[in-house]
Amino acid sequence: MKKEWNKVTVDDVKKAIDLFDRTGEKYPEPRNTFLLYNGKEYPAKHIRGLAYKVANKKEISKNDYTGGKETADFLQKLGFTVLYKKELIKPTDTPKQIVKQIDQEEQWKQVSKKLDVVSQKNALQRLLQKYYGHIETEKRFDWLKTPNQANLPKEYLQIVKSLSKYRNQNGFQKSNYQLSCDIVLEDSKLIIEYDEKQHFSKARQITLENYPPNINLYFSKDYWITACRKINAKDNTPVDRDERRAFFDTVRDIEAFKNGYKLVRIKHGDIDWEADGAENHLKKMISAANNEVEHTHIKLNNMKTKNIDSKAAITGAESKQHHKIARLVLTKKQCYKSSGLTDHSKLENLIENFINSEYNNKTYEFILTPGGFLNFDIRDLQYNFDISKAEKQDISLLQERANSVVKRFFENLKPSTFKKLKEIADYFTIGIDSFIGDIYLDIPHIELVAVYSLKEENVIRWTGKFYPLKSQEKSLIKIIDLNTHFIELNNQKVVLLGCHDLNVFSPRGQATAKGWRKQTADKFKTLCKEFKPAIILQHPHFTDYQYIWNLAWRNIEKELPSVKHYASGIKYYYDGYTCRGDIKDVLEKTKKGDVIDFYYD
């Protein structure tokens, strides 16, 4: 048996992980040993067994090998990181990078395996966040619109003429049609577009071949044209879909350049963004674009003599930056040491610091807080009642009690502070819990979530935790109306989650779920898939470790590809003890998309 284990290689383990991700098979719940790979937690013993099967072409019984320390050591020697009894065991030797530094013209030959588009995009975004900080996805600029067809700028004249002549389709000629960008690194004035197969069509080839020579590009035009010829994608639904897609890509290229942004294009399949060493490709790509910054600005300045509005070229840089989510992170500074409950008197300082940082610089659609950001007292209420009856009869009473605390919280802010807050953000989401004294988990209680409209100055939606810990099943007053978690704000579909509600998407948790827990989880996931949210906001209580919510978020990326932005509200606190993970790692693993973090410790 020992000899056969020796046949297991690094590649076999990676194939096992890929097999596990694709099949979603059930597995025994790990007790204390997890394989960490590409930001995900995997059952170490189970993956080891799959790797054995890959290497030796035969099954092995889990009774024939042990998990725990033996499996941790086995995977560590192969160069993997393992979480064993809450301690990280890192590899002693770093395996060789498998992504080669290659020229763009040769990249299409390098990756032979089929790569999942959603997983690749998510992996790319995580790398960008890790190495370059804040990113924004699906961002819109005021200047990023299709040109006026009645007064077409000269740089578009030949492009429109040639594209119209291709198949006599003119539906793409829409004026002032708003476009968005895949990924934006605002600090670097960098835009990244991720082009899938359908972007490489004959129509796109035509537009590229007719680009004016004074437009500076940050990708290889020749390589893109060659790819268009090779792939020759056709999308005839609607009949002019190729022309529209090609023209919209063209507008992005030209308008980005005119407005002082560098637009980099990435072709899906050229690089495996989930592979070890992918960050080397990314750094090289970003560095190549950044090295051209001075050259680009020179060109922009010279454009004044070419009848291009120089004022329009800097509008994006001078206006306020608009973002999706501001996350107010609580630390021990805003908590009582004895309980971890928030000290309401310290929250105003947090708000003041946030405003001083952002006022006149940025605006946000949502300000996100953790669970228990506020608390309301229910000691005067008689709580010797049946939980199931309370869930049907007393929710409104508890929401009224919570609403008075929310109202008082905003009234207690300085008038100037509240006025500026209203100018900065549209909505303030609040986790608010009932409590009786300092300890409340073993007695009837409720964990609510409120959406407060800063413009309307009131709560416009109440919801709360519906999926309790097993230890809370007899004490949590659940929100049984699952529809309250779904709301449309600013023309976007948003899902609101209480603390452990996110666990309905955890593969590990759902592998053992039974009865009403499984039924509720399945029902909620079905509602999510039908709703197709763009944003998910979770309101957990204590998050001091980066892998607490990681599996569930990664699974959401697979099951709900419509989600472009998500975040967990963070209270970085661990019952008065030292937090188990670094705060930067915690923040990185609990967000996606356009999320900016604020904490003051």
Give the residue, 546 or 530, on which the prediction is more confident.
530
CA–chain centroid gap for 110, Å, is 28
**In the structure, what pLDDT confidence band is assigned to residue 337 with cuts at 50, 70 and 90?**
low
Same domain, 415 and 514: yes
Q: So what's the pLDDT on residue 442?
A: 61
Q: So what's the pLDDT on residue 168?
A: 93
Q: So what's the pLDDT on residue 382?
A: 54
C-alpha pair distances (Å), 277 with each of 101, 118, 283, 487? 10, 19, 10, 40
* Alpha-carbon gap, residue 236 to 478, rounded angstroms: 48
Bridge partners of residue 33, in order along the sequence: 84
* Alpha-carbon gap, residue 253 to 273, rounded angstroms: 23
Percent of the chain having pLDDT more than 70? 86
* Alpha-carbon gap, residue 262 to 213, rounded angstroms: 16
Contacts of 598 (CB under 8 A, 6+ apart): 326, 327, 328, 329, 350, 353, 354, 357
**Res 210 pLDDT > 80:** yes
CA–chain centroid gap for 368, Å, is 14
Q: So what's the pLDDT on residue 256?
A: 93
Mean pLDDT of 557-571: 93
Q: So what's the pLDDT on residue 95?
A: 35
Q: What is the CATH number of the domain that holds 557?
A: 3.60.110
Q: So what's the pLDDT on residue 493?
A: 95
User: Of the candidates 51, 74, 89, which is a domain's last residue?
Assistant: 89
Same domain, 341 and 459: yes
Strands 425-435 vs 447-453: parallel, antiparallel or unpaired: antiparallel
SS3 call for 197: helix
Is residue 102 in some structural domain? no
What is the full DSSP assignment across 44-92? Answer: HHHHHHHHHHHHHSS---GGGS--HHHHHHHHHHTT-EEEETTEEE--S
Which of the residue ranges 194-208, 304-318, 319-333, 400-414 would you say has the lowest mean pLDDT?
304-318
* Alpha-carbon gap, residue 321 to 506, rounded angstroms: 35
**In the structure, what pLDDT confidence band is assigned to residue 432 with cuts at 50, 70 and 90?**
very high
Same domain, 436 and 513: yes
* Alpha-carbon gap, residue 259 to 317, rounded angstroms: 9
Give the residue, 116 or 251, on which the prediction is more confident.
251
Which of the residue ranges 350-354, 423-427, 448-452 would you say has the lowest mean pLDDT?
350-354
Task: Quickly tell me which residue has 């892998």 as its tokens.
Answer: 547
Bridge partners of residue 266, in order along the sequence: 194
* Alpha-carbon gap, residue 191 to 290, rounded angstroms: 12
**Res 585 pLDDT > 70:** yes
**Res 345 pLDDT > 60:** yes
| CB-side neighbour CA atoms (13 Å) of 146 | 19
Q: So what's the pLDDT on residue 164?
A: 94
CA–chain centroid gap for 171, Å, is 34
* Alpha-carbon gap, residue 369 to 373, rounded angstroms: 6
Nearest partner of 351 among 435, 460, 425, judged by Cα: 425
Is residue 113 in some structural domain? no
Q: So what's the pLDDT on residue 320?
A: 65
Cis-peptide into 533, omega within 30 deg: no
User: Of the candidates 89, 107, 135, which is a domain's last residue?
Assistant: 89
Torsion angle defined by CA atoms of residues 426, 431, 434 and 437, in that order, rounded to the nearest 10 degrees: -120
Same domain, 525 and 423: yes
Q: What is the mean pLDDT of the chain?
A: 83
Number of Cβ within a 10 Å radius of residue 2: 5
Q: So what's the pLDDT on residue 338?
A: 52
**In the structure, what pLDDT confidence band is assigned to residue 436 with cuts at 50, 70 and 90?**
low
* Alpha-carbon gap, residue 506 to 549, rounded angstroms: 8
Contacts of 35 (CB under 8 A, 6+ apart): 13, 17, 41, 42, 43, 44, 47, 75, 80, 81, 82, 83
Same domain, 582 and 506: yes
* Alpha-carbon gap, residue 176 to 557, rounded angstroms: 32
Mean pLDDT of 172-199: 92
How is residue 221 annotated by DSSP?
A: H
Same domain, 286 and 253: yes
Count of domains forming the chain: 3
How is residue 473 annotated by DSSP?
A: T
Which of the residue ranges 351-355, 377-381, 416-420, 473-477 would you say has the lowest mean pLDDT?
377-381
Phi/psi class of residue 242: alpha, beta or left (left: φ > 0; alpha: ψ in -120 to 50)?
alpha
Q: So what's the pLDDT on residue 48?
A: 93
Contacts of 344 (CB under 8 A, 6+ apart): 374, 375, 409
* Alpha-carbon gap, residue 331 to 124, rounded angstroms: 29
* Alpha-carbon gap, residue 336 to 351, rounded angstroms: 18
- Which residues span the domain enclosing 221? 118-317
* Alpha-carbon gap, residue 48 to 28, rounded angstroms: 13
Mean pLDDT of 574-579: 70
Which of the residue ranges 23-27, 189-193, 325-329, 397-401 would you say has the lowest mean pLDDT?
23-27
User: Of the candidates 269, 296, 317, which is a domain's last residue?
Assistant: 317
Mean pLDDT of 479-485: 95
How is residue 178 annotated by DSSP?
A: E
Is residue 393 in some structural domain? yes
Mean pLDDT of 342-365: 86
* Alpha-carbon gap, residue 556 to 451, rounded angstroms: 22
**Res 308 pLDDT > 60:** no
Q: So what's the pLDDT on residue 572?
A: 87
**Res 297 pLDDT > 50:** no
Burial class (CB in 10 A: 0-12, 13-18, 19+), 274: buried
Same domain, 378 and 430: yes
Is residue 109 in some structural domain? no
Is residue 105 in some structural domain? no
**Res 293 pLDDT > 60:** no
Same domain, 326 and 373: yes
Q: So what's the pLDDT on residue 312?
A: 31
Q: Say what the pTM is.
A: 0.54
Which of the residue ranges 101-115, 319-333, 428-442 would you say has the lowest mean pLDDT?
101-115
Is residue 124 in some structural domain? yes
The pLDDT tens digits for 15-44 are: 888 788 777 666 777 778 888 876 677 899
Q: So what's the pLDDT on residue 334?
A: 72
CB 19 within 8 A of CB 48: no
Is residue 79 in some structural domain? yes
Give the residue, 520 or 300, on which the prediction is more confident.
520
User: Alpha helix (H) ranges present in 172-309?
Assistant: 202-209, 221-231, 241-258, 278-290, 293-302
How is residue 162 annotated by DSSP?
A: H
Nearest partner of 97 among 291, 286, 287, 284, judged by Cα: 284
**Res 483 pLDDT > 90:** yes
Percent of the chain having pLDDT more than 90? 45
**What tokens appear for 495 in the block?**
């899902």
Is residue 354 in some structural domain? yes
Same domain, 527 and 569: yes
**Res 421 pLDDT > 80:** yes
User: Alpha helix (H) ranges present in 292-414?
Assistant: 293-302, 310-313, 315-318, 344-358, 387-393, 395-411
Same domain, 159 and 254: yes
Q: How far apart are the first and last CA of the chain?
A: 53
Which amino acid type is present at position 553? W
CB 277 within 8 A of CB 98: yes
Same domain, 82 and 158: no
Same domain, 379 and 467: yes
